[in-house]
A = this chain, B = another copy of it.
Amino acid sequence: MSNAKPKTAITPTRAENYPEWYQQVIDAADLAENSEVRGCMVIKPWGYRLWENVQRGLDDMFKATGHENAYFPLFIPVSLMEKEASHVEGFAKECAVVTHHRLEARKDDKGVTKLVPAGPLEEPLVVRPTSETIIGESFAKWVKSYRDLPLLINQWANVVRWEMRTRLFLRTAEFLWQEGHTAHATQAEAIEETMKMLGVYAEFAESWMAIPVIQGEKTAGERFPGAVQTWCIEAMMQDRKALQAGTSHFLGQNFAKGSNIKFLDENNQLVHAWTTSWGVSTRLIGAMIMTHADDDGMVMPPKLSPQHVAILPVTPKPEDRERVIASCRELKAQLEQQTFAGGRVRVIIDDRDMRGGEKKWHWVKKGVPVRVEVGARDLDQGTVAIGRRDVQLPKDQAFPQRAAFVEGIGAMLQSIHDNLFQRALAFRQEHTRTIDSKDEFYAYFTEPKADKPNSPTAIHGGFVLAHFNGDPKLEAKIKDDLKVTVRCIPRTAVRDPSDLDPGTCPFTGEPSKQRVVWAKSY
Q: Which residue numbers of A lie inside 8 Å of B, CB to CB?
A: 33, 35-37, 40-45, 48-49, 51-52, 68-78, 80-82, 88, 92-105, 114-117, 119, 124-127, 134, 137-138, 141, 153, 157-158, 160, 162, 174, 176
Residues A35 and B74 in contact, CB atoms below 8 Å apart: no
- Please name 13 pairs of A and B residues whose Cβ atoms are closer than 8 Å in the assembled complex, sorted by A: A33-B138, A36-B137, A37-B76, A45-B153, A52-B69, A74-B127, A74-B158, A82-B115, A96-B101, A97-B101, A99-B99, A101-B162, A102-B162
Residues A73 and B40 in contact, CB atoms below 8 Å apart: yes
In Å, the complex CA distance between A322 and B116 comes to: 68
Residues A74 and B160 in contact, CB atoms below 8 Å apart: yes
Residues A68 and B45 in contact, CB atoms below 8 Å apart: yes
Cβ–Cβ < 8 Å partners of A103 in chain B: 78, 81, 88, 92-93, 95, 97, 124, 126
Residues A75 and B40 in contact, CB atoms below 8 Å apart: yes
Cβ–Cβ < 8 Å partners of A69 in chain B: 45, 48-49, 52
In Å, the complex CA distance between A115 and B81 comes to: 9
Residues B98 and A97 in contact, CB atoms below 8 Å apart: yes
CB distance from A11 to the nearest CB of B (A): 21
Q: In chain B, what residue has the closest Cβ to A76? A: B37
Residues B70 and A45 in contact, CB atoms below 8 Å apart: yes
CB distance from A438 to the nearest CB of B (A): 39
Residues A73 and B35 in contact, CB atoms below 8 Å apart: yes
Cβ–Cβ < 8 Å partners of A33 in chain B: 138, 141
Cβ–Cβ < 8 Å partners of A71 in chain B: 42-43, 48, 51, 176
In Å, the complex CA distance between A41 and B48 comes to: 27
Given contact pairs A70-B44, A127-B98, A115 touches B37 in the complex (Cβ within 8 A): no
Copies in the complex: 2
- Sort A-B residue pairs by CB-CB distance and give the 8 closest, nearest first: A40-B73, A45-B68, A92-B103, A43-B71, A97-B100, A101-B162, A37-B73, A97-B117
Residues B68 and A37 in contact, CB atoms below 8 Å apart: no
Residues B125 and A37 in contact, CB atoms below 8 Å apart: yes
In Å, the complex CA distance between A411 and B119 comes to: 55
Residues B77 and A36 in contact, CB atoms below 8 Å apart: yes
CB distance from A182 to the nearest CB of B (A): 13
Cβ–Cβ < 8 Å partners of A80 in chain B: 36
Cβ–Cβ < 8 Å partners of A70 in chain B: 42-45, 48
CB distance from A129 to the nearest CB of B (A): 11
Residues A174 and B73 in contact, CB atoms below 8 Å apart: yes
Cβ–Cβ < 8 Å partners of A43 in chain B: 70-71
Cβ–Cβ < 8 Å partners of A137 in chain B: 35-36
CB distance from A86 to the nearest CB of B (A): 13
Seed contacts A45-B68, A97-B99, A103-B126; 11 additional CB < 8 Å A-B pairs: A37-B75, A40-B75, A42-B71, A42-B72, A81-B103, A88-B105, A94-B102, A97-B101, A97-B117, A103-B124, A157-B158
Cβ–Cβ < 8 Å partners of A114 in chain B: 78, 82
Residues B73 and A49 in contact, CB atoms below 8 Å apart: no
Residues A115 and B88 in contact, CB atoms below 8 Å apart: yes
Cβ–Cβ < 8 Å partners of A93 in chain B: 102-103
Given contact pairs A35-B137, A115-B82, A74 touches B125 in the complex (Cβ within 8 A): no
In Å, the complex CA distance between A72 and B158 comes to: 11
Residues B98 and A96 in contact, CB atoms below 8 Å apart: yes
In Å, the complex CA distance between A134 and B72 comes to: 24
CB distance from A348 to the nearest CB of B (A): 12
Cβ–Cβ < 8 Å partners of A37 in chain B: 73, 75-77, 125, 134
Cβ–Cβ < 8 Å partners of A104 in chain B: 92
In Å, the complex CA distance between A375 and B69 comes to: 32
